[in-house]
Chains A and B, each alone.
Chain A
């Protein structure tokens, strides 16, 4: 399990990185934290001609507030995001979701952008990005473009980034008063890789649901908004009955597929459970998010 040969570059800016991407015309891969990519290299599942190491692009590891956006550079370490006060006050769902990404050793090296760009179908950050309506900022040879989270995730391990683009930063909307969040997962072992995960953003006004976004991963090739559940909640009182109804509706319109390790029936069974738990968690949290 040794990787095949590759050329190695460690640019110090996104511009430089993009230049190399362009030069290799799709035969190069970007290396961020390496926690997802290097196993694929060691198994020789992928054999890129070149590896572009982003770990020296220090301009890409910033956490900052920019007006109504929390901006995380693509190379922000997951552990840094977890302990950041700015992240916690601006976007607590990210803070909540971080421990689910894996043990601390993985989060020490793993990055926000790396996880999003890798787009594993059971990764947590894509669910968070879709639930919050994050904007991905891509950089290519023709400059930057903004891609909504909904459009960013195309399929398992596939994003809408072109071969000569890289994810440069992610903009999350800064949360406001009355917003509540939750993240829950179903796993095969305790605190393990997700089988199904649910990220939730909820706005309550006097026990009435004003807004809700529920994004699930693991139930399809990309993160999915549970629109039927969302629709039945908005405008209504969030009580136990409403939660149960929303949970039951979560499976509507979803084609659950069996895969070698987990039958379709399981994901169909567990999704409503997770939706219910996420709603209870967000609905009962005594601390609403502040500024």
Chain B
């Protein structure tokens, strides 16, 4: 751990405390959306999904379904016209074309799975029976599955309100971006194609809308990452009074970005609960989830890197096409994947010049939005693979070329080629630590040209990556994403008994917020960890906010919690100072007491201070202070802090079957000031394994007519414990320079960002004898075998695959 001038004294922040969340979850007492006790009279919704990728809807016959047993009503898109507004993702940014999406398809369906009707019945079983009776007449239209198909001159235009299927495009170049490619000694380039992924949170989506007629109010329980944004959307699109709306995210079983959109089902169930004056519930089953929940990361990247002959990186060029599916999503819009991929390409290296062109293209496939890491994992994969190739071409070891180019302390603060500022970081330190822990030198020493050991091909891969975390209002405005507020807030309150409660505007889905933020409160107030409760995810409490995605938890919610706690602590110090007759400055808070600094006998318990604040004590409050012991603060970082990491992966490949095994995995990681190292490591483990799974087995596939063919977990292959490695995590702590926010940086996505390039490079290294180029994902066993059989190694014949 590096010494840090901002290092606080040893306190609760930084301790690997087991989580407050765990006890009920371990006992099976978690309350996920489907676990909420259904109020009497709850009705169940089932959506009739389009079986065509692109078709005109000629007619929808609901007569038989409406008569079916247990059915209360059946609705089609026309029933909601004028009553639920279409969802519009309008990102005021040059090159952006907004699109409207009605909550149910009316004239046209644009992807298999798009809802055409909704059946409301007494229970789910009967609703499914009735849904089968809904007859839809389709007039098929040509479908477009890939970005190439959608951008052909004769491609069908999917949205009437746009001029083409390119919903967003942007380009940028630094002053000498073209020049460095002319003057470069060596250029490496390739086209990288990553397959569409399902985000696959283990708890699929769902909502329960409970309407109260007595005051015309509605509570929507929904498995979401963005309760405030959902609430505002419902208010706007249904023309309802926001003050009568409450959105609650109960326990949420994973999000990873797929629950960071407002979905038609949330709007429809809310609307119908009021319309029918009955609670309406909808749970997305796994088949629906694989067909309708937002997917991610279908990219084609053309990337070129320019080098001097000594391996110095001069610049990069990228052309990016992103397949965003049939509809852009709300609030993040069509540009989030395409734009993100482009601006996240500059990473851990000094890279003065950069040019990009990027496009978001709509196709007749499931809508795609953000999935953990968004474009960064693919951008990192492309650049890191090219770094390795350049190394080989220039006669350098892959570690060497990285040492040459990685940012060092004297470069900081560093503004990268797209204007993003890295205030602090440990890029070179993480590189060295990860290489050492993985015994990279030893591996290289023992490595043979044929890569074989014990009948398997062995390889090692390095990835240096960064993670842009905690993006605030400025970043979202710069990106044109106006419907994401960008800030979060915390209301911290000490009750008369001296214990604290913090309402935080974010929404955890397993990231341990209820623990980490309690550590912050306890640390600042000097009370016990067990004396703090954190509540999230409920719009009825605390402040407005943004939600939890894009690695913003620790930075923004942590920052808000810290600031609110500080104000409360200030008041405690003022009251204690008043009682102990010293200046508030001379009061220290620890162990549940307020001490006069250096005079331990002169103290008052924080519980007593709380009593004073609530006028339940003989002492009065100091002049100028009013009652209560609470504060509300927001946090909005001016600069999104950058985390950094180096991943080193070792793989072995069975040449007979092509199966890749991850043998060893090391991450040296810096996410600034660590609140809880257990939670940080857990985020890295989870991200890495999701990344490994997306490289080695996951792929959403469509046939040539646009039918999804991976609609079960038997076809969409998620890695299990038998596929995952043990992972070693080393910590560095370069505090964020915005210490008013606590010095925290985010960590949620870094694991994925590093895993794609690390595994890709390790596989490329193992297959070096075959000259395999790793520019396609995923790498299933058959992909590996094809690489062994079809690649052309530099200066030699392709070797027959060994058994």
Q: Do chains A and B touch in the complex (CB under 8 A)?
A: yes
Known: A260-B703, A276-B803. A186 touches B781 (CB 8 A): yes
B657 contacts A by Cβ under 8 Å: yes
Chain A residues with CB under 8 Å of B785's CB are 265-266, 269-270
Binding stretch for chain B, among A78-86, A190-198, A207-215: A190-198
Nearest-CB residue, chain B, relative to A268: B785
Chain A residues with CB under 8 Å of B709's CB are 260-261
Q: Which of A71-124 contact B (CB under 8 A)?
A: none
Q: Which of A244-291 contact B (CB under 8 A)?
A: 247, 260-263, 265-266, 269-270, 272-274, 276-277
A188 contacts B by Cβ under 8 Å: yes
Nearest-CB residue, chain B, relative to A264: B782
Known: A261-B701, A269-B785. A189 touches B717 (CB 8 A): yes
B156 contacts A by Cβ under 8 Å: no
A8 contacts B by Cβ under 8 Å: no
B789 contacts A by Cβ under 8 Å: yes
A160 contacts B by Cβ under 8 Å: no
Chain B residues with CB under 8 Å of A247's CB are 803
- Listed residue (B285, B286, B717, B803) with the most chain A CB atoms within 10 angstroms of its CB: B803
| Shortest Cβ distance from residue A110 to the other chain B in the assembled complex, whole angstroms | 15
B662-706 CB mask vs A (1 if < 8 Å, else 0) is 000000000000000000000000000000000011000101000
Known: A2-B124, A266-B781. A192 touches B717 (CB 8 A): yes
Chain A residues with CB under 8 Å of B715's CB are 261
Taking a contact as CB atoms under 8 Å apart, the answer to whether A189 and B722 are in contact is: yes
Taking a contact as CB atoms under 8 Å apart, the answer to whether B720 and A189 are in contact is: yes
Taking a contact as CB atoms under 8 Å apart, the answer to whether A1 and B286 are in contact is: yes
- CA A155 to CA B484, docked complex, whole Å: 55
Q: Which of B104-157 contact A (CB under 8 A)?
A: 124-125, 128-129, 132
Q: Which of B604-652 contact A (CB under 8 A)?
A: none
A214-236 CB mask vs B (1 if < 8 Å, else 0) is 00000000000000000000000
Given B710, B780, B786, which contacts A265 in the complex, CB threshold below 8 Å?
B786
B659 contacts A by Cβ under 8 Å: yes
Chain A residues with CB under 8 Å of B129's CB are 4-5
B656 contacts A by Cβ under 8 Å: yes
Chain A residues with CB under 8 Å of B125's CB are 2
B748-792 CB mask vs A (1 if < 8 Å, else 0) is 000000000000000000000000000000001110011001000
Taking a contact as CB atoms under 8 Å apart, the answer to whether B659 and A1 are in contact is: no
Taking a contact as CB atoms under 8 Å apart, the answer to whether A190 and B659 are in contact is: yes
Taking a contact as CB atoms under 8 Å apart, the answer to whether A186 and B722 are in contact is: no
Known: A192-B717, A193-B714, A265-B782. A187 touches B701 (CB 8 A): no
- CA A239 to CA B364, docked complex, whole Å: 56
B176 contacts A by Cβ under 8 Å: no
Taking a contact as CB atoms under 8 Å apart, the answer to whether B782 and A262 are in contact is: yes
- Listed residue (B658, B701, B782, B786) with the most chain A CB atoms within 10 angstroms of its CB: B782
Of the four ranges (under 10, 10 to 19, 20 to 34, 35 or more), the interface on chain A belongs to 20 to 34
B712 contacts A by Cβ under 8 Å: yes
- CA A192 to CA B715, docked complex, whole Å: 12
Given A1, A4, A188, A272, which contacts B781 in the complex, CB threshold below 8 Å?
A188
Taking a contact as CB atoms under 8 Å apart, the answer to whether A191 and B722 are in contact is: yes
B603 contacts A by Cβ under 8 Å: no
Please count the residue pairs between chain A and chain B whose beta carbons lie under 8 angstroms apart in the complex. 83
B309 contacts A by Cβ under 8 Å: no
- CA A272 to CA B657, docked complex, whole Å: 10
Chain B residues with CB under 8 Å of A192's CB are 717, 720, 722
- CA A270 to CA B659, docked complex, whole Å: 11
A168-186 CB mask vs B (1 if < 8 Å, else 0) is 0000000000000000001
B9-50 CB mask vs A (1 if < 8 Å, else 0) is 000000000000000000000000000000000000000000
Chain A residues with CB under 8 Å of B782's CB are 262-263, 265-266
B719 contacts A by Cβ under 8 Å: yes
- CA A44 to CA B131, docked complex, whole Å: 12
Taking a contact as CB atoms under 8 Å apart, the answer to whether B723 and A190 are in contact is: yes
B661 contacts A by Cβ under 8 Å: yes
Q: Which of B257-291 contact A (CB under 8 A)?
A: 285-287
Taking a contact as CB atoms under 8 Å apart, the answer to whether B722 and A270 are in contact is: no
- CA A186 to CA B781, docked complex, whole Å: 9
| Shortest Cβ distance from residue A267 to the other chain B in the assembled complex, whole angstroms | 9
- CA A188 to CA B722, docked complex, whole Å: 12
Taking a contact as CB atoms under 8 Å apart, the answer to whether A190 and B803 are in contact is: no
Chain A residues with CB under 8 Å of B703's CB are 260
Q: Which of A16-58 contact B (CB under 8 A)?
A: 39, 43-44
Chain A residues with CB under 8 Å of B803's CB are 247, 272-273, 276
Chain A residues with CB under 8 Å of B287's CB are 1, 43
- CA A184 to CA B786, docked complex, whole Å: 21
Chain A residues with CB under 8 Å of B701's CB are 260-261
Taking a contact as CB atoms under 8 Å apart, the answer to whether B659 and A186 are in contact is: yes
Taking a contact as CB atoms under 8 Å apart, the answer to whether B712 and A189 are in contact is: no
Chain A residues with CB under 8 Å of B285's CB are 1
Nearest-CB residue, chain B, relative to A269: B785
Taking a contact as CB atoms under 8 Å apart, the answer to whether B719 and A270 are in contact is: no
- CA A53 to CA B155, docked complex, whole Å: 52
Taking a contact as CB atoms under 8 Å apart, the answer to whether B723 and A273 are in contact is: no
Known: A188-B780, A260-B709, A261-B701. A273 touches B657 (CB 8 A): yes
| Shortest Cβ distance from residue A241 to the other chain B in the assembled complex, whole angstroms | 13
- CA A44 to CA B287, docked complex, whole Å: 11
- Listed residue (B128, B656, B659, B661) with the most chain A CB atoms within 10 angstroms of its CB: B656
Known: A260-B703, A260-B709. A186 touches B657 (CB 8 A): yes
| Shortest Cβ distance from residue A31 to the other chain B in the assembled complex, whole angstroms | 18
- CA A39 to CA B129, docked complex, whole Å: 17
Chain A residues with CB under 8 Å of B786's CB are 263, 265-266
B720-745 CB mask vs A (1 if < 8 Å, else 0) is 10110000000000000000000000
- CA A263 to CA B780, docked complex, whole Å: 11
- CA A276 to CA B782, docked complex, whole Å: 19
Taking a contact as CB atoms under 8 Å apart, the answer to whether A190 and B780 are in contact is: no
- Listed residue (B701, B714, B781) with the most chain A CB atoms within 10 angstroms of its CB: B781
Chain A residues with CB under 8 Å of B286's CB are 1
- CA A47 to CA B129, docked complex, whole Å: 11
Nearest-CB residue, chain A, relative to B721: A190
- CA A263 to CA B285, docked complex, whole Å: 30
Chain B residues with CB under 8 Å of A270's CB are 656-658, 781, 785
Known: A1-B287, A262-B782. A189 touches B719 (CB 8 A): yes
- CA A1 to CA B286, docked complex, whole Å: 8
| Shortest Cβ distance from residue B228 to the other chain A in the assembled complex, whole angstroms | 32
Chain B residues with CB under 8 Å of A43's CB are 287, 712
- CA A283 to CA B516, docked complex, whole Å: 58
Given A5, A189, A272, which contacts B697 in the complex, CB threshold below 8 Å?
A189
Chain B residues with CB under 8 Å of A4's CB are 128-129, 132
Chain A residues with CB under 8 Å of B712's CB are 39, 43
| Shortest Cβ distance from residue B134 to the other chain A in the assembled complex, whole angstroms | 14
| Shortest Cβ distance from residue A59 to the other chain B in the assembled complex, whole angstroms | 33
Nearest-CB residue, chain A, relative to B125: A2
- CA A44 to CA B125, docked complex, whole Å: 12
B576-595 CB mask vs A (1 if < 8 Å, else 0) is 00000000000000000000
Chain B residues with CB under 8 Å of A262's CB are 780, 782
- CA A168 to CA B286, docked complex, whole Å: 35
Please list the residues of chain B having a beta carbon within 8 angstroms of any beta carbon in chain A.
124-125, 128-129, 132, 285-287, 656-659, 661, 696-697, 701, 703, 709-710, 712, 714-715, 717, 719-720, 722-723, 780-782, 785-786, 789, 801, 803
Known: A1-B285, A190-B720, A265-B786. 5 other contacts (CB 8 A): A2-B128, A188-B780, A189-B697, A190-B659, A274-B656
A-B contacts, 21 of them at CB < 8 A, read: A1-B128, A1-B285, A1-B287, A2-B125, A44-B132, A186-B657, A188-B697, A188-B781, A189-B717, A189-B722, A190-B661, A192-B720, A261-B709, A261-B715, A262-B780, A265-B782, A265-B785, A265-B789, A266-B781, A270-B785, A274-B657
Which 3 pairs from chain A and chain B are nearest by CB? A273-B656, A266-B782, A190-B722
